[in-house]
Structure 1
């Protein structure tokens, strides 16, 4: 049973036009003597400027779906569109941030952020203007000339986010980006991500095992079971984006409901 969006969103029920549409997507992997079906006719919609999370047990297909969205893997059937355009491979319209920081160790913080801009043959002055903006956005201006080995885990992930955003993607795809961070850094990064999202108005698809994180960050949550969508949940606006709300009865009740869905066989 899916919750009614107009009933649970604390915004105008007209959400906007779809940004990402996943229609009946299936994905299979061949093993020695069998075929493993990672996704089985999965369909989701993400609207413009929306923050949506996918939660589910390990191996349920979350990362596979995200990699298909990023154009890093192909579905065996179904289709995925961004702004109505069929995804046929990686593209500058989609930025990706992974759990591992994937920074180039031989480049400085600024050079990492400017990497995609350099590939576009953008002039240095323009690259610097863009990197200055995102260095400030992620509070790393004093570290512009440092190398990744000189940064903490949280700082490295901030660089990864800034690098993805510097290319002005329409969509930001994030695969458990804060999973390796300590609790305090993780909390700080969640707040920073929300600040960035509210300023940049980028559509975000976020994968996490942390249900509290999903509720805190998201407008909607797709709960997955192996290969399929179990339920779509709209997060009431008063339950997200406030630290103190995590201890409220309604927040805990929603968390329990999602846990029950995850344990449903």
Structure 2
């Protein structure tokens, strides 16, 4: 399995969903300039699940914010479907670690929020929200408000809201970081199930090695100060088949290798 570790290799443009080349980010502060990212290059294919893994402060969330169009780069190229990212787009859904629900709206209205902004009629909106309420297992909570939901349920709503807009790419910034271990595990499995059904391209930020290996087809491992990608790893272990855990040895070997990378 460790032989699967490889350097970043470019694909043909027609095969690319996301292309990041030579990305750098320098912040100007009162104490002087600070380089958060240096010469980051990566790709994500259509319908692929890719994680960016690294320690706190390595710039992985900065990559995601630039990809989302929420922040500008200092230099480099960031493209989605061969289009340069110049700002936010409905084609790039975002799920944050914090629960970003609108507290004055119930669950259904939160999911339908973007659809309403598009001018979609109420009947069509309801058909779409019904589908995603079922997908995330919240049919019985359609009329509930955020204060009545657990943390895991709030993130289910956030995921459903993003998917309801039918984005090309779903960007997830440590969405399960604030959850307890048991809820986190169930949400990881739910996300995998949704990804298999929806075939949405996902870029997932995490500092949890187990989470990255469990969820991802590929992992980009980063170092900090400044943030750089040090390895691209094939992590598609097919860990769960019909609910049975397989390839545990490969999982542990890969985890040991990533721990070694992060230490050095």
Q: Give TM-score scaled by structure 1 length.
A: 0.92
Q: Which of residues 19, 23, 48 is equivalent to 1:50?
A: 48
Q: How does 1:191-206 map to 2 (within 5 A)?
A: 191-206=189-204
Deviates more, 1:57-66 or 1:249-258: 249-258
Matched, 1:130 2:150: no
Q: Deviations over 1:68-100 (max 9, x none)?
A: 000000001111110111100000110000000
User: 1:11 maps to what in 2?
Assistant: none
Preserved CA contact (<8 Å) 1:109 1:147: yes
CA shift at 1:17, angstroms?
Answer: 1.3
Q: Deviations over 1:14-51 (max 9, x none)?
A: 9x811000010110111113110001010000000000
Q: Deviations over 1:111-170 (max 9, x none)?
A: 000000111111111111110110000010110000000000000000000000000000
The separation in 1 between residues aligned to 2:153 and 2:236, in whole angstroms, is: 31
User: 1:165 maps to what in 2?
Assistant: 163
User: 1:262 maps to what in 2?
Assistant: 262
Preserved CA contact (<8 Å) 1:17 1:48: yes
CA shift at 1:209, angstroms?
Answer: 1.1
Q: Deviations over 1:219-241 (max 9, x none)?
A: 00000001100100001433467
1:73–1:110: structure 2 CA closer, same or farther, 3 Å change rule? Answer: same
Matched, 1:23 2:25: no
User: 1:146 maps to what in 2?
Assistant: 144
Q: Give TM-score scaled by structure 2 length.
A: 0.92
The separation in 1 between residues aligned to 2:114 and 2:253, in whole angstroms, is: 43
Q: Where does the alignment leave 5 or more consecutive residues of structure 1 unmatched?
A: 6-13
CA shift at 1:2, angstroms?
Answer: 7.3
Preserved CA contact (<8 Å) 2:21 2:40: yes
Preserved CA contact (<8 Å) 1:245 1:251: no
Aligned pair count reads: 256
CA shift at 1:247, angstroms?
Answer: 8.3
User: 2:98 maps to what in 1?
Assistant: 100
1:188–1:201: structure 2 CA closer, same or farther, 3 Å change rule? Answer: same
Q: Where does the alignment leave 5 or more consecutive residues of structure 2 unmatched?
A: none
Preserved CA contact (<8 Å) 1:218 1:240: no
